[in-house]
């Protein structure tokens, strides 16, 4: 077969609003508003510089069905740049941007294929005067696509390299809505060489049979703290033997990161600030010139715990760090600083004592056992609080990840109030 090189991207979410950030930091909001566009432009630049054979977009080009005119124009112009260089683009729409959403009447470049939503169709990729690959794809006609679409993909045995372009939920534990659900076995039955998938915002690669791959490139730009770390697309190279190589291309313009700093051994506020400055500088270097939005968790046991627990201290610390980094070459924003530290208390000694706190620590131990063995029972215990009409205005029912943190935070609060300060392990 003819060697190939192509870009596989998905989940562009162009013009994603980042609404939560406007309230906190207008400058960061402006950077975030342009981040998806700048990430996509960087990817198009890379595709042109590497002279790829084709460009794949596996759904969710836009952030919503009511897509903005700005996003549509920017996307169309970017694809026009690819077309000018002889690079064809193949696009499917997903659950965020289904075909029944509003679309401006734009003249798409001739080399752009937007797959319809009524059936799976295919388009050849011609190189050196003959068919080098064929792309099969189907768009979401509407947001709620709950059926498995993979059985509708049927490979032509004469195709030298077959690509399935699909926005779907592969498996059952992706953390995303089960739109167009399918399994690895479903993909294997299709007999395709490469499944270019979209929908999951973290990059993932699965081997399908002996030589095929199913790949999620993730979204090109993290949009909130839960989408931390590098984001980008995949550069895929296919040798004449049919062997497939992938390379992740980080193109995100604003990077979210979470980090922890253990206060053990830190003796004063000045030393703490110095340690935080060093950690932030390290992450700023790793971000490689990108804007950085950072969440910091202070952890561990130490003598600083009492200071960190003082009313207003963490807020003042956040303000100081933000002001110190405001003049950096790239924007570094301390999104949040959390105090998860523990006091210097000998818990085992306290458990052996014959007092109220010892009994309370025993209750917390029982809560941990209940959480491990019968989570529903623990939620039932908390139901009166979270379902109270007055409390619902201020409290959201905790999820599985938050329950252990709530137990630890409650125990720490009780120890602080009941054990006094100055006790050491």
105-158 per-position pLDDT tens digit: 999 999 999 999 999 999 999 999 999 999 999 999 999 999 999 999 999 889
Which of 250, 272, 290 represents a domain boundary (last residue)?
250
Q: Which residue is it, tokens 């807020």?
A: 315
Number of separate domains in the chain: 2
22 pLDDT higher than 70: no
One domain, residues 189 and 69: yes
Q: Are residues 333 and 406 in the same domain?
A: yes
Average pLDDT over residues 328-340: 85
Whether 423 is in a domain gets the answer no
Asked if residue 424 belongs to a domain, the reply is: no
- Residue where one domain finishes, among candidates 226, 250, 274: 250
pLDDT value for 423: 52
What span, in angstroms and rounded, lies between the C-alpha atoms of 407 and 413?
A: 10
Lowest mean pLDDT among 91-105, 197-211, 269-283, 374-388: 374-388
Closest residue by Cα to residue 331 from 300, 276, 294, 384? 294
pLDDT digits 0-9 by tens, 308-330: 999 999 999 999 999 888 766 67
pLDDT of 300 reads 87
Q: Is residue 228 part of a domain?
A: yes
Identify which of 69, 64, 71, 66 has the alpha carbon closest to the alpha carbon of residue 15.
71
- At 16, the pLDDT band (50, 70, 90 cuts) reads confident
Residues 366 and 220 both lie in one domain: no
Q: What is the pLDDT of residue 65?
A: 86
196 beta partners: 165, 215
Does residue 153 sit in the same domain as residue 292?
no
Question: What are the tokens at 165?
Answer: 């372009």
**Same structural domain for residues 237 and 289?**
no
Res 187 pLDDT > 90: yes
Residue 134: φ, ψ to 5° = -140, 135
The pLDDT, as a whole number, for residue 404 is: 87
Distance (Å, whole) CA 376 – CA 74: 48
Task: Say yes or no: 244 and 318 in one domain.
Answer: no
- Is 216 part of any domain? yes
**What span, in angstroms and rounded, lies between the C-alpha atoms of 174 and 183?**
12
- Please tell me the distance from the alpha carbon of residue 365 to that of residue 379, in angstroms, as a whole number: 16
- The values of phi and psi at residue 34, to 5°, are -95, -5
| Antiparallel, parallel or unpaired: β 212-216 and 232-238 | unpaired
**pLDDT at 28 (0 to 100):** 79
Q: Pick the more confident residue, 50 or 301.
A: 50
Is residue 425 a part of any domain in this protein?
A: no
* Predicted pLDDT of residue 173: 64
Please state whether beta strands 194-198 and 54-58 pair in parallel, antiparallel, or not at all (unpaired).
Answer: unpaired
Mean pLDDT of the chain: 90
Cα angle: 127, vertex 133, 137; to 5 degrees: 130
How far apart are the C-alpha atoms of 283 and 291, rounded to whole Å? 11
State residue 39's pLDDT score: 97
- Domain identity same for 162 and 245: yes
| Residue entry with tokens 């506020």 | 269
In a domain, 323, yes or no: yes
CB within 8 Å of 196: residues ≥ 6 apart: 8, 10, 56, 58, 163, 164, 165, 166, 215
| Parent domain of 348 | 254-418
Tokens of 358: 């010892």
**Domain match, 230 and 295 both:** no
Residues 6+ apart with CB under 8 A from 398: 382, 386, 406
CATH number for the domain harbouring residue 224: 3.60.21.10
Judge if 157 and 288 occupy the same domain: no
Which of 199, 228, 250 is where one domain is finished?
250
Residue 289 pLDDT > 70: yes
Query: Per the structure block, which two tokens stand in for 289?
Result: 């010139």
Least confident among 52-56, 210-214, 235-239: 210-214
| Residue 245 lies inside a defined structural domain of this protein | yes
User: Does residue 389 form part of some domain?
Assistant: yes
pTM over cut 0.85? no
Same domain, 21 and 164: yes
* pLDDT tens digits, one per residue of 59-115: 999 998 889 999 999 999 999 999 999 999 999 999 999 999 999 999 999 999 999
Q: Give yes or no: residues 323 and 243 share one domain.
A: no
Task: Mark whether 327 and 292 lie in a shared domain.
Answer: yes
Spatial separation of the C-alpha atoms in residues 247 and 203, rounded to whole Å: 11
């Amino acid at each position: 077969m003819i060697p190939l090189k192509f870009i596989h991207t998905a989940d562009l979410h162009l013009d994603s609003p980042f609404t939560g950030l406007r309230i906190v930091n207008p400058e960061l909001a402006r950077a975030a508003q342009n981040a998806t566009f700048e990430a996509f432009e960087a990817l198009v630049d890379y595709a042109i510089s590497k002279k790829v054979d084709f460009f794949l977009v596996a759904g969710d080009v836009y952030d919503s069905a009511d897509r903005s005119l700005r996003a549509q124009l920017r996307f169309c112009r970017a694809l026009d740049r690819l077309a000018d260089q002889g690079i064809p683009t193949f696009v499917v729409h997903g659950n965020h941007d289904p075909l029944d959403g509003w679309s401006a009447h734009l003249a798409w470049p001739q080399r752009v294929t937007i797959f319809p939503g009524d059936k799976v169709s295919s388009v050849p990729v011609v190189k050196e005067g003959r068919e080098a690959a064929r792309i099969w794809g189907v768009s979401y006609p509407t947001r709620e696509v709950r059926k498995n679409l993979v059985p509708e993909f049927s490979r032509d045995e004469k195709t030298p390299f077959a690509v399935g372009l699909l926005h779907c939920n592969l498996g059952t534990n992706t953390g995303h809505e089960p739109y167009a659900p399918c399994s690895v076995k479903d993909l294997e039955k299709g007999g395709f060489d490469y499944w270019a998938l979209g929908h999951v915002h973290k990059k993932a690669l699965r081997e399908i049979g002996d030589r095929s791959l199913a790949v999620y490139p993730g979204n090109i730009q993290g949009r909130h703290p839960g989408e931390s770390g590098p984001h980008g697309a995949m550069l895929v190279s296919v040798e004449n033997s049919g062997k497939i190589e992938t390379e992740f291309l980080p193109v995100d313009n604003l990077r979210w990161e979470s980090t922890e700093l253990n206060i053990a051994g830190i003796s004063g506020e000045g030393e703490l600030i110095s340690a935080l400055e060093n950690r932030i500088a390290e992450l700023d270097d790793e971000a490689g010139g990108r804007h950085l939005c950072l969440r910091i968790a202070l952890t561990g046991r130490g003598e600083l715990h009492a200071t960190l627990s003082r009313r207003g201290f963490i807020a003042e610390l956040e303000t100081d760090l933000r002001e110190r980094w405001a003049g950096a070459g790239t924007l570094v924003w301390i999104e949040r600083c959390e105090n998860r530290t523990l006091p210097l208390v000998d818990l085992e000694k306290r458990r052996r004592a014959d007092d109220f706190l010892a009994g309370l620590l025993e209750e917390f131990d029982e809560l941990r056992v209940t959480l491990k063995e019968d989570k529903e029972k623990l939620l039932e215990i908390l139901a009166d609080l979270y379902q109270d009409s007055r409390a619902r205005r201020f409290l959201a029912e905790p999820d599985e990840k938050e329950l252990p943190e709530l137990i630890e935070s409650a125990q720490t609060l009780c120890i602080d109030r009941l054990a006094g300060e100055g006790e050491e392990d």
